Amino acid sequence: MKTTAYLLAVLLFSTPAARAGGGITLGQAVDKALEASHGLKQAQAAREGAQTIGRQAGHMRLPALTYQSAFTNSDDPVYVFGALLRQKEFTAADFALDKLNSPSPRTNFSNSLQLQVPLYTGGKISDFSRLGEAAVSRADAAAVYARQGTAMEAAQKYLMAAFKGQLAAIASEAVSSTEKELAVADRLREKGLVLGSDYYAAQALLGSLKAAKTVFEQEALASASGLNVLMGGSEVPQIPALLGRHLYVLPPQEELERAMSGRGDVSAADFAARAAKIARDMESDSILPQIGAFASLQTDTEAFSTNPMRRMVGVGMTVPFGDFARADRVAQKEAEHRQALEGALHLRQTAAAQLAEYRRSYESAALALPLAEAARDDAARSLELFRPMFRQGRQSVLEVARAEYALMSARAAVAEQVFKLHSYYAATLLASGGLDDAAIAFISAAVSEGEGK
């Protein structure tokens, strides 16, 4: 309850002076949300994982050193014959037929060190290198968009909390003003100068104003609570219930569309399609031979009294034949490549639709704002004319209550258009991939300081 009361006080009673000196700014809220974002930490982990692919490619060029150790015991004639030779323990007596056919069990301790050097890997090293580069680029692009998406989410909650707080403040002023007029009506009603039907109809309008005030307060609290979670839940954000009136200048549509091609998620999808093509090429090249040089040192002994060593060097080639599933794997990778390509095109199409929608919505708010302001001014003048006429008994209290309600609605309409200006401008930049730190700082200044250049 204390937290709720505190938030209401912040949202409902913020003044321009308080806005300048106290309360969190939009930029500060976004910064805290970015610091607390697990999505950004996930993106960083994805980048670190992508970097390992390129390192694997580099390591594939290096020689591979393998150590093996084995203990064996057998009376298999071929095994015993070979063990005696490897241990250099073979004698003339071992040529006896009974020893050759039915030898005694023999133990062998074998240790070997093998070195393998890749000479030609069928393009695997270069493919892995390209795959790593694509994976890192994709992770970088995804991280950029994740950052902008987090900034947008925090900014929207901030703007919504400020907007709803402003509506609550407008409704609160309307409630207070209407209550004063109804207090006058009470005195006049006792003298028979106010009709009961008009009085109770005005009371009903007052109830509607109170209901609107309550709804706006709770919606402001909901947005502030959501922002608090995004910011890590460390403190309740003080969000001034005012939005500065600012008309932004949008870049030309062609410029926004060109910038959209580099949008983080669009770029990430393009790199995903590139990675899918590399994976398809790797599967196609799996039939190519692999050539490597090798060298080994091996010792064999039974009782460790002697430990003779042998060496072997050579070059080997492996050519996969008879892999009947290869064609299906290639077809699968080709389908995955087409899927990635279509996914990238679909995302680009969706981004273009978002950009067009948000830009038009911003332009609509910019056109509607002066009309809403004119309507607000007319509603204010109407109310000022009704008040003295009502107190002179020349107008009904119902007409005054209606004028109060009309003024609240007109002021709310202005606040809505101002909110839309900030919101759709930020959304337009996000759709074009331009909602970076500088843009957030600019929007924050516009929200806090009012109309700028």
Q: Tell me how far apart the alpha carbons of residues 234 and 249 are, in angstroms, rounded to a whole number.
A: 36
Q: Quick check: 379 and 407 in contact, CB under 8 A?
A: yes
What is the DSSP track for 134-203?
HHHHHHHHHHHHHHHHHHHHHHHHHHHHHHHHHHHHHHHHHHHHHHHHHHHHHHHHHTT-S-HHHHHHHH
Rounded to a whole number of angstroms, the distance between the first and last alpha carbons of the chain is: 42
pLDDT tens-digit readout, 394-419: 667 677 788 888 999 999 999 999 99
Residue 56: pLDDT band with limits 50, 70, 90: confident
pTM: predicted TM-score of the whole model, two decimal places: 0.79
pLDDT tens-digit readout, 296-342: 999 999 888 888 899 999 999 988 887 888 889 899 999 999 999 99
pLDDT at residue 83 is higher than 60: yes
pLDDT tens-digit readout, 156-198: 999 999 999 999 999 999 898 888 877 776 665 555 545 566 7
pLDDT at residue 125 is higher than 90: no
pLDDT tens-digit readout, 235-277: 667 888 888 999 999 988 888 888 888 889 999 999 999 999 9
Output the CA angle 327-330-335, nearest 5 degrees.
125
The pLDDT value recorded for residue 429 is 94
Q: Quick check: 26 and 159 in contact, CB under 8 A?
A: yes
Domains in the chain with CATH codes? 2-57+126-278+329-449 (1.20.1600.10)
pLDDT tens-digit readout, 349-386: 999 999 999 999 999 999 999 999 999 999 999 888 87
Q: Quick check: 285 and 123 in contact, CB under 8 A?
A: yes
The pLDDT value recorded for residue 14 is 41
Give residues with Cβ within 8 angstroms of 254, minimum separation 6.
none
pLDDT at residue 9 is higher than 60: no
